[in-house]
Structure 1
Amino acid sequence: MQHDEHTQDHAHAHVHSPHGSGTASWSMAAQATLHCLTGCAIGEVLGMVIGTALGWGNVPTLILAIALAFFFGYLLTLRGVLKAGIGVKAAIRVALAADTLSIAVMELIDNGVIVLWPGAMEAELADAAFWWVLAIALATAFVITTPVNKWMIGRGKGHAVVHQYHH
């Protein structure tokens, strides 16, 4: 029985890994991270604009921005997977498997930079400092999240799950 489970696990990993050897290129990891960054940036900026327009404080605005970052990150993946003809339930499972860790790391790093940067939480949308700190935070998150995505893709996880639907 153990041999069969090992064979099934190996076959499963091989199907999901774009490189059967379990390796992933830095280019592939960067593309997956850029995809994640796009959804995160859309959600965060929209959340900050909405929170500011409604006169919310920092914490509720930050929570909204993070929630929308996850939403738009998942939405971008769902869009591509649904185009491949996958059902909605299966597409949601793929998006959750592909993006959750990547978005979580991205959000932790980028919001950590914003919270820790002196004066960033007080900056308004019209302030150049707001946009510079956001750009630095997103760039930092990209640099730190790319190796995470490379590690996951190399193990048949993360965006490796999505790649089987891009044929």
Structure 2
Amino acid sequence: MASSATLHCLTGCAIGEVLGMVIGTALGWGNVATIILAVALAFVFGYALTMRGVLRAGVDFKQAVKVALAADTVSILVMEIVDNAVMVAVPGAMEAGLANWVFWAALAFALAVAFVLTVPVNKWMIGRGLGHAVVHQYHH
């Protein structure tokens, strides 16, 4: 269950993270601005994916926002901290540019590391009825 929850989180994070990194890199933004955009978009897409399923279950928008915040905030936060730390730590990754394989390899590696390190966090939270455990009642 923790792996599934983390994969769900990774999907939203990856969409936002890749989009943010691509936009920031394409516009020639510095590392800080690019990371801020990538993190913001990761949260937006992560929450949106959770809300989509909850809204489909008939929950009103305001409650769906609350469920998404409770389900995903810690997971996305951990994933984003790890992912961006790895991107910054890989020499030349942030400066490589979109046409360079180093950028894409580092981004894929960063997301993989973030997944591996976030699974235990989600396992711990689900075991205590937190995180993605709050979403399960809305899955049919």
**Would you say same fold, with TM above 0.5?**
yes
More displaced stretch, 33-42 vs 55-64: 55-64
Q: Which amino acid aligns with 1:38?
A: T
Partner residue in 2 for 1:144: 117
Of the two, which has the highest radius of gyration? 1
Q: Which amino acid aligns with 1:133?
A: A
Counterpart check, 1:60 vs 2:33? yes
- TM-score between both structures, scaled by the size of structure 2: 0.97
- TM-score between both structures, scaled by the size of structure 1: 0.82
> Using the alignment, how far apart are the partners of 1:166 and 1:48 within structure 2?
32
Q: How does 1:26-105 map to 2 (within 5 A)?
A: 28-105=1-78
State the Cα distance separating 1:53 from its structure 2 match. 2.9
Partner residue in 1 for 2:92: 119
- Give the CA RMSD over aligned residues: 0.8
Question: 5+ unaligned residues in a row in structure 1: which ranges?
Answer: 1-27
Superposition misfits of 4+ residues, deviation over 6 angstroms: none
> Using the alignment, how far apart are the partners of 2:79 and 2:25 within structure 1?
22
Q: Which amino acid aligns with 2:75?
A: S
| Equivalences, count | 140
> C-alpha offsets along residues 27-71 of structure 1, whole Å, 9 cap, x if unaligned?
x10000000000111001111222223332221111001100010
> Using the alignment, how far apart are the partners of 1:98 and 1:62 within structure 2?
23
Query: 1:154 pairs with 104, 122, 127, which one?
Result: 127
